[in-house]
């Protein structure tokens, strides 16, 4: 649907947002600290996931393509289970697109990682300000990581479609995301 969400899609997005946030909360805070860190992961990892997927949807709709988010329940369950080991597998689903040309598909794919780059910069700007410095630092690191991870140039990652569409755009985006990720580890 153009410029619309179905009721099912809203539920799918909400479920994935919550479970991605829980994955990060468990991995970062452990079982006992999960509830304390969950509000922070909702605002950092959860928002990073949410806006990444919405960027795909809205750019696809701008190109007059059909776009709908569908959660992957098996990957969500696996991700939550793995988070107890400290490993995060955030593959909650994706936006299914129909009617996109090769060029449009590349642009749609790039929208998600670039949104994470923008969010990483936003959270980085928060890092000097106490008491939100910890939120800024975590949001900076998570969103830079999401951008780099999603730019891997192999299926099913966004980077594959971007690389197939425009290798220069892919290289510049990866360099930017990689630089931000390295900076987030310092």
Is the CB of residue 158 less than 8 Å from the CB of residue 116?
no
Of 9, 12, 53, 68, the active-site residue reads 53
184 with 144: CB under 8 angstroms?
yes
Q: Number of helices (H) and strands (E) in the chain: give both, helices first.
A: 7, 2
Element (H, E) at 97: strand 93-98
| Cα gap 98→56, rounded to integer Å | 12
Burial class (CB in 10 A: 0-12, 13-18, 19+), 123: buried
Catalytic: 53?
Answer: yes
Closest CA to 1 of 71, 92, 64, 70: 64
Backbone angles phi, psi at 41, to 5 degrees: -70, -30
SS3 at position 68? strand
* Euclidean distance between CA atoms 170 and 61, whole angstroms: 22
Catalytic residues: 53
């Amino acid at each position: 649907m153009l410029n619309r969400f179905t009721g099912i899609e809203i539920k799918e997005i909400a479920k994935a947002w919550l479970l991605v946030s829980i994955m990060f909360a468990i991995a970062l805070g452990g079982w006992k600290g999960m509830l304390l860190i969950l509000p922070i992961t909702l605002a950092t990892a959860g928002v990073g996931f949410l806006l990444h997927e919405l960027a795909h949807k809205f750019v696809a709709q701008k190109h007059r393509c059909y776009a709908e988010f569908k959660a992957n329940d098996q990957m969500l369950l696996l991700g939550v289970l793995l988070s107890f080991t400290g490993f995060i597998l955030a593959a909650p689903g994706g936006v299914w697109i129909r009617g996109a040309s090769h060029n449009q598909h590349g642009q749609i794919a790039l929208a998600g990682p670039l949104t994470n780059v923008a969010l990483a910069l936003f959270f980085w700007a928060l890092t000097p300000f106490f008491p939100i410095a910890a939120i800024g630092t975590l949001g900076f690191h998570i969103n830079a990581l999401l951008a780099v991870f999603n730019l891997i140039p192999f299926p099913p990652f966004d980077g594959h479609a971007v690389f197939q569409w425009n290798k220069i755009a892919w290289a510049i985006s990866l360099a930017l995301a990689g630089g931000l990720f390295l900076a987030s580890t310092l």
